[in-house]
Structure 1
Amino acid sequence: MSTDTDTELERLVDEIIVAAGIDQNADLIHHILVDGIRIGRDRADRLDLKIASSALGEMRQAFRMFARFRGRDKVTVFGSARTRPDDVLYRMAREVARRLAAHDWMVVTGAGPGIMQAATEGAGRDHSIGVSIRLPFESLNPAFDDADGGSLVQMKYFFTRKLMLVKESKGFVVIPGGFGTFDELFELLTLQQTGKAVPVPIVLLDRPAGPTAQDAPAAPTAAAAAEGTNAEPREERWNGGEHPHPGTGYWAGMRRFAEEQLVPASLIAADDLDRVLITDDVDRAVEEILGFWRDYDSLRWVGPRLVLRLRHAPTDAELADLQERFGRLSPDLPIQRTAPLRPEIRDDDRVELPRILLQPAPQQIGRLHQLIRAINALPSAGR
Structure 2
Amino acid sequence: MSPHVKPTKVPQERDFTGGMLQCHPCAFIGSTGEKSLDDKIRQLADQVCDNRDADLLAEMLINAVRTSRGSVTDGDFRTMNRVLKELRVADEVFAPYRSYRKVSIYGSARTNPDEEEYKAAVDFASKMRDAGFMTITGAGPGIMAAGNEGAGRDDSFGLNINLPFEAVPNAYISGDPKLIGFDYFFTRKLSFVKEGDAVVAFPGGFGTMDEIFETLTLIQTGKVSIYPLVLIDAPGGTYWKFWQQFVDEHLMRLNLISRTDFSLFKVTDDVDEAVEEISRFYSNFHSYRYVGDKLVIRLIKPPSEDLLRKLKNEFSDVLKSGSFTATEPLPAEEDEPELSHLPRIVFRHGRKDFGRLRELIDVLNE
| TM-score bracket, shorter-length normalisation | 0.7 to 0.9
Contact 1:113 1:141 in 2 (8 A): yes
Match for residue 189 of structure 1? 216
Q: 1:47: Cα distance to partner?
A: 1.0
Q: Distance in 2 between matches of 1:123 and 1:152?
A: 14
Instruction: Tell me the percent identity.
Output: 39
After TM superposition, the structure 1 = structure 2 runs for residues 45-84 of structure 1, keeping only pairs within 5 Å, are 45-84=73-112
Q: Per the alignment, do residues 50 and 5 of structure 1 end up closer, same or farther by CA in structure 2, a change over 3 Å counting?
A: closer
- Whether contact under 8 Å (2:233, 2:239) holds in the other structure is yes
TM-score, with length taken from structure 1: 0.84
Which residue of structure 2 aligns with residue 12 of structure 1? Answer: 40
Does the Cα contact within 8 Å between 1:331 and 1:359 map onto a contact in 2?
A: yes
CA gap of 1:47–1:83, structure 2 versus 1, over 3 A, is: same
* Partner residue in 2 for 1:89: 117
> Which of 318, 321, 326 is residue 329 of structure 1 equivalent to?
318
Q: Is the 8 A contact 1:108 1:128 kept in 2?
A: yes
Task: Please report how far the alpha carbon of residue 331 of structure 1 lies from its aligned counterpart in structure 2 after TM superposition.
Answer: 5.1
Give the direction of change, closer, same or farther, for the CA distance of 1:363–1:59 in structure 2 (3 Å limit).
Answer: closer
Q: Which amino acid is the alignment partner of residue 131 of structure 1?
A: L
Structure 2 counterpart of 1:227: none
1:239 alignment partner in structure 2: none
Work out which of the two has the higher radius of gyration on C-alpha atoms and give 1 or 2: 1
State how many pairs are aligned.
Answer: 335
- 111-120 or 322-331, which deviates more: 322-331
Deviation at 1:349, TM superposition (A): 5.6
- Which residue of structure 2 lines up, in the alignment, with residue 202 of structure 1? 229
Please name the residue that 1:271 is paired with. 260
Per the TM alignment, residue 315 of structure 1 is displaced from its structure 2 partner at its CA by 1.4
Please say if residues 173 and 202 of structure 1, whose CA atoms lie closer than 8 Å, have aligned partners that are also in contact.
yes
Answer whether contact 1:328 1:364 (CA < 8 A) is retained: no
The separation in 2 between residues aligned to 1:3 and 1:277, in whole angstroms, is 48
Q: Cα–Cα, structure 1 residues 72 and 4, in superposed 2: closer, same or farther, change >3 Å?
A: closer
Q: CA separation in 1, counterparts of 2:267 and 2:31?
A: 57
Give the deviation of 1:15 after TM superposition: 3.0
1:145 positional shift: 2.4
What aligned pairs does 1:250-269 form with structure 2 within 5 A after superposition?
250-269=239-258
**Aligned partners of 2:46 and 2:320: how far apart in 1?**
49
Distance of aligned partners of 1:4 and 1:187 in 2 relative to their CA distance in 1, 3 Å threshold: closer
Q: Residue deviations 1:302-336, cap 9 Å, x none?
A: 11110111111121122111211111211512112
- Do the aligned partners of 2:45 and 2:55 also contact (CA within 8 Å) in 1? no
Q: CA RMSD in A?
A: 1.8
* Rounded Cα–Cα distance in structure 2 between residues aligned with 1:42 and 1:292: 47
Name the counterpart of 1:144: 173
Q: Evaluate the alpha carbon distance shift between residue 293 and residue 7 of structure 1 in structure 2; reply closer, same or farther with a 3 A threshold.
A: same
* Structure 1 position 303 matched with structure 2 position 332: no
Instruction: Give deviations 1:332-366, integer Å, cap 9, x for gaps.
Output: 12112112111113542611011111112234433
Q: Which residue of 2 aligns with 1:359?
A: 348
Structure 2 CA distance for aligned equivalents of residues 108 and 4 of structure 1: 40
- State the 1:101 CA deviation: 0.8
Equivalent-residue separation in structure 2 for 1:55 and 1:33 (angstroms)? 15
Which one scores higher on RCO, CA 8 angstroms, separation ≥ 6?
A: 2
